[in-house]
């Protein structure tokens, strides 16, 4: 009979992912050893391997947990049945806040995903595509003409460009918080959305 997980297994694993993400973000994935992860988690190395098979699996779990959380945020916002503009603003608000709360995980996903194998990267990419697709649909709901002009996805990627890299310059202890940044991103995006000239945007056939 297989032995079940000990009480608190998931909570301990989550703390391991948090500490490993912090180390990977600070030192890079190649520059961090499993010994360092075990030390940061205050567990023995054999105990660490009880929760993850190896460093590659640790990286994958960090990335997958982060993108899965983002997918959950999308589902939660869509379930509210908001009107188009409030819905897109809510998505932006939740994502900016999530990035602020998970800076290490987001940095790892951005900088270290290249160290995963092709199969694992594809799994992450499928989740990311669903997230981006939901944002693109939200953009179209605000301005339906964008879809026929094939501009909804480029504009969605421009929106992600505004929020994806805030971790490189917006400091958690700075004067400007992620909470204050979220409505600024929305205001900037909506302020320029109606000004995009659809007939002046060349697209490849």
The answer to whether position 146 is within a domain reads: yes
| Domain residue limits at 126 | 60-195
- CATH for 151: 1.10.357.10
Token pair, residue 146, equals 């964008």
Runs of H (alpha helix) within the chain: 9-27, 34-41, 45-51, 55-78, 84-101, 103-112, 118-142, 145-148, 152-164, 178-193
φ/ψ of 3, rounded to 5, equals -80, 130
pLDDT band at 1 (very low <50, low <70, confident <90, very high): very low
The answer to whether position 52 is within a domain reads: no
The answer to whether position 68 is within a domain reads: yes
DSSP 7: T
The answer to whether position 2 is within a domain reads: no
The answer to whether position 126 is within a domain reads: yes
The answer to whether position 204 is within a domain reads: no
For residue 200, the model assigns a pLDDT of 47
The answer to whether position 123 is within a domain reads: yes
**pTM of the predicted model, to two decimals?**
0.85
**pLDDT tens sequence across 161-176:** 989 888 888 887 778 8
Secondary structure (3-state) at 30: coil
For residue 195, the model assigns a pLDDT of 55
Q: How far is CA 166 from CA 100, 158, 200, in A?
A: 9, 13, 30
How many CA atoms lie less than 13 Å away from 69 in the CB half-sphere? 17
Number of domains in the chain: 1
Q: How do the residues of the chain divide into helix, strand and coil, expressed in percent and rounded to 5? A: 75, 0, 25
Token pair, residue 155, equals 């504009």
The C-alpha atoms of residue 139 and residue 126 are separated, in whole angstroms, by 20
The answer to whether position 48 is within a domain reads: no
**pLDDT tens sequence across 52-107:** 999 999 999 999 999 999 999 999 999 999 999 999 999 999 999 999 899 999 99
């Amino acid at each position: 009979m297989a032995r079940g997980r000990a009480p608190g297994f998931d909570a301990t694993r989550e703390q391991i992912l948090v500490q490993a993400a912090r180390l990977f973000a600070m030192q890079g994935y190649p520059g961090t050893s499993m010994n360092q992860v075990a030390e940061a988690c205050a567990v023995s190395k054999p105990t660490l391997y009880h929760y993850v098979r190896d460093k590659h699996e640790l990286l994958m779990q960090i990335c997958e947990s982060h993108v899965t959380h983002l997918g959950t945020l999308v589902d939660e916002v869509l379930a509210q049945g908001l009107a188009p503009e409030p819905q897109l603003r809510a998505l932006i608000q939740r994502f900016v806040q999530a990035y602020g709360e998970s800076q290490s995980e987001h940095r790892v996903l951005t900088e270290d995903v290249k160290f995963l194998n092709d199969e694992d990267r594809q799994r992450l990419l499928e989740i990311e595509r669903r997230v981006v697709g939901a944002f693109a649909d939200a953009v179209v709901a605000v301005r339906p003409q964008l879809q026929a002009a094939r501009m909804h996805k480029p504009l969605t990627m421009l929106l992600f460009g505004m929020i994806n890299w805030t971790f490189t310059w917006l400091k958690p202890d700075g004067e400007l918080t992620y909470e204050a940044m979220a409505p600024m991103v929305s205001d900037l995006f909506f302020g320029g959305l109606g000004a995009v000239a659809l007939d002046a945007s060349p697209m490849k056939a």
